């Protein structure tokens, strides 16, 4: 069994409902949910919007290969109304599901890069990941989460949902 870390995010409509539906769908397709962070509130990253995000890191034990995990994540996003804009652009979304890591695998393919190539730049990824997997070491940078958080240049206000 592999250990895969996913991050879910939503900033449209009933964010909690979308995130809970995503968890249900992921559990039925990916594997056993073994960890779940608090929900964190953050501003949009990389674009302007008045809609704040809810984000949560989920840890799954899976028998699926990384490309199959990605396939299910994309399918679940689509089922929950995610509309993708052009490549590389950011926009508000009902649900976003990204793979943060897959064991200690380093993968750089056209459609899948693991670990997530921008996670170390985003506090909304690092803080909930630290909550559920504090001993994780980034396999590319060979740094722990305390180091990555301390050196993250993201100055966004991130808070836990009460």
- Asked if 67 is an active-site residue, the reply is no
In this predicted model, what pLDDT tens digit does every residue of 48-84 receive, in sequence order? 888 999 999 999 999 999 999 999 999 999 999 887 7
Q: Is residue 96 among the annotated active site residues?
A: yes
Quote the crossing angle between the two packed helices 66-79 and 15-29, to the nearest 10°: 140
pLDDT in tens, 119-140: 999 999 999 999 999 999 999 9
* pLDDT value, residue 83: 76
Round to whole Å and give the CA distance between 61 and 34: 7
Per mean pLDDT, which of 40-49, 81-90, 152-161 is the most reliable?
Answer: 152-161
pTM flag (> 0.85): yes
Q: What angle do CA 60, 20, 54 make, to 5 degrees?
A: 95
Lowest mean pLDDT among 22-26, 86-90, 113-117: 86-90
Whether the pLDDT of residue 88 is over 70: the answer is no
Half-sphere exposure of 142 (CA within 13 A, CB side): 0
Catalytic pick among 29, 68, 98, 150: 98
- How many domains, in total, are found in the chain? 1
CATH of the domain at 148: 3.30.70.560
Q: Which residues form the domain of 119?
A: 2-160
What stretches of 2-153 show up as alpha helix (H) in DSSP? Answer: 15-29, 66-79, 123-132, 145-150
The single residue of 68, 84, 93, 154 carrying the catalytic annotation is 93
């Amino acid at each position: 069994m592999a250990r895969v870390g996913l991050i879910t995010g939503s900033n449209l409509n009933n964010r909690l409902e979308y995130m809970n539906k995503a968890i249900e769908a992921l559990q039925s397709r990916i594997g056993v949910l073994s960890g779940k962070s608090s929900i964190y509130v953050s501003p949009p990253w990389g674009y302007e919007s008045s809609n704040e995000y809810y984000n949560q890191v989920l840890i799954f034990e899976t028998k699926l290969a990384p490309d199959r995990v990605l396939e299910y994540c994309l399918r679940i996003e689509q089922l929950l109304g995610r509309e993708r804009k052009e490549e590389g652009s950011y926009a508000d979304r009902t649900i976003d599901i990204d793979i943060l890591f897959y064991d200690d695998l380093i993968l750089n393919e056209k459609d899948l890069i693991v670990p997530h190539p921008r996670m170390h730049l985003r506090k909304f990824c690092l803080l909930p990941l630290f909550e559920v997997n504090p001993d994780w070491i980034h396999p590319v940078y060979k740094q722990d989460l305390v180091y990555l958080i301390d050196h993250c240049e993201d100055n966004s206000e991130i808070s836990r949902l009460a």
